[in-house]
Amino acid sequence: MAGTDKSQEIAYLPSPAVILCEPQLGENIGTAARAMANFGLWDLRLVRPRDGWPNEKAVAAASRADHVINKVRVFETLEEAISDLTLVYATTARSRDMQKEVIGPDEAGRRMTPHIRGGQGAGLLFGREKWGLLNEEVALADMIVTLPVEPAFASLNIAQAVLILAYEWRRQSGQADALPFGSGLSDVAPRSELVGLFEHLEGVLDQSGFFTTPDKKPSMVNNLRTALTRGNFSSQEIRTLRGVISSIDRRHERPNPNRQKPESNKN
Question: Quick one: pLDDT at residue 160?
Answer: 94
Q: In whole angstroms, what is the distance from residue 250 CA to residue 263 CA? A: 27
85 in Cβ contact with 17 (< 8 Å): yes
Which of these ranges, 36-50, 109-123, 180-194, 198-212, has the smallest mean pLDDT? Answer: 180-194
- pLDDT class for 120, splitting at 50, 70, 90? very high
Other beta carbons within 10 Å of 244:
11
Q: Does 54 sit behind a cis peptide bond, omega within 30 degrees of 0 on the bond before it?
A: yes
Categorize the per-residue pLDDT at 252 as very low, low, confident or very high, splitting at 50, 70 and 90.
Answer: low
Separation of alpha carbons 124 and 141, rounded Å:
9
Evaluate if residue 19 carries a pLDDT over 80: yes
| Stronger pLDDT, 98 or 260, i.e. the higher one | 98
**How far, in Å, CA of 212 to CA of 197, rounded?**
21
| Structure confidence at residue 259 as a pLDDT band (50, 70, 90) | low
Please give the domain boundaries of the chain with CATH numbers for all domains.
17-172 (3.40.1280.10), 191-250 (1.10.8)
- Tell me: the pLDDT tens digits for 213-225? 889 999 999 999 9
**Cα(23)–Cα(5) distance, integer angstroms:** 30
Helix (H) or strand (E) holding 203: helix 191-208
Return d(Cα 6, Cα 197) in angstroms, integer. Answer: 43
Residue 18 sits at φ, ψ, to 5 deg, of -110, 125
pLDDT band at 179 (very low <50, low <70, confident <90, very high): low
Asked if the model's pLDDT at residue 267 lies above 60, the reply is: no
Rounded-to-integer distance, Cα 182 and Cα 35, Å: 23
Strands of the sheet containing 122-126, edge to edge, are 73-75, 44-47, 17-21, 122-126, 87-91, 143-145, 102-103
E-assigned strands of the chain?
17-21, 44-47, 73-75, 87-91, 102-103, 122-126, 143-145
Cα 69 to Cα 55: distance, rounded to the nearest angstrom? 10
